[in-house]
Amino acid sequence: VKLEVGMTCGGCSGAVERILSKMEGVSKVDANIEEKTVIVTAEGVTAEEMVEKLSKWSAASGKFVRVP
């Protein structure tokens, strides 16, 4: 699953990776700050559920999270 996330630093990417890694079914999270993308390897989890899980972080940080 590919997500677009407005990450601007290592703190952002670390938070995104930490949040998504805690989701049941997620086996790998690869955040790319320069491309502002996150590639998630998961079973039984939808992109929409991942965006919902990141919504609190998104609101607090002012960064966007969306499905491309």
Convert the pLDDT of each residue in 21-47 to its tens digit.
999 999 999 999 999 999 999 999 999
Question: Is residue 62 a contact partner of residue 7, using CB atoms and an 8 Å limit?
Answer: no
Q: What pLDDT, on a 0 to 100 scale, did the predictor assign at position 43?
A: 97
pTM of the model: 0.94
- Is residue 52 within a helix (H) or strand (E), and if so which, with residue range? helix 47-61
Residue corresponding to tokens 């940080």 = 61
Give 2-13 pLDDT, tens digit per residue: 999 999 999 999
DSSP code at position 44: S
- Let me know if 23 is exposed, middle or buried by CB neighbors in 10 A (0-12, 13-18, 19+): middle
- Is residue 47 within a helix (H) or strand (E), and if so which, with residue range? helix 47-61
